[in-house]
Amino acid sequence: MTYTLQPITQEQAEEIAYNWHYDGKYAFYDMEADEEDLAEFLDNNKRNNSIYAVTEKKQLIGFFSIYQEENNTINIGLGLRPDLTGQGNGYTFLTTGINYIKERYSPAFISLAVATFNTRAIKVYKKAGFKETTTFMQSTNGGEFEFVKMIYTCSIA
């Protein structure tokens, strides 16, 4: 699979926000589940070229949000199209994003936060080299949920 990352268009953002719906407990990740996140995702000024669409053969298959933090760290969020989840696509999708970030930003670290119930994603993150650091509670989607912060150490070339 050859994935391409490029700044997300408004049309792509709306496709993800309104048409991507995950099954069961993963509905937690539907953009419409959190009004504040939805508004930010749809507002081009708030996105500020920090969200990238991932395409394969011009088909939208996912997205990465990429934010520069202190200490030469990039914080990411990501989403894979619902019909592509649970089929072994996550590792290639994730490592494509990691490689893009390493080439473009040359960070020392890449961090992310994931809901602790999402053991499927945590397994993929660990396989790619992320290490769990801390757990914390976060208000989102109308409640309090436990998340784990994970860090990937970029190898120095």
Residues 31-85 have pLDDT tens digits of 988 888 889 999 988 888 899 999 999 999 999 999 999 889 999 999 999 999 9
| Counted domains in the chain | 1
Q: Contact at 8 Å (CB) between 53 and 59?
A: no
DSSP string, 6-26: EEPPHHHHHHHHHH----GGG
Which residues form the domain of 86?
A: 4-153
Task: Please report, for the domain that includes residue 108, its CATH number.
Answer: 3.40.630.30
1-16: pLDDT as tens digits: 689 999 999 999 999 9
pLDDT for residue 157 is more than 70: no
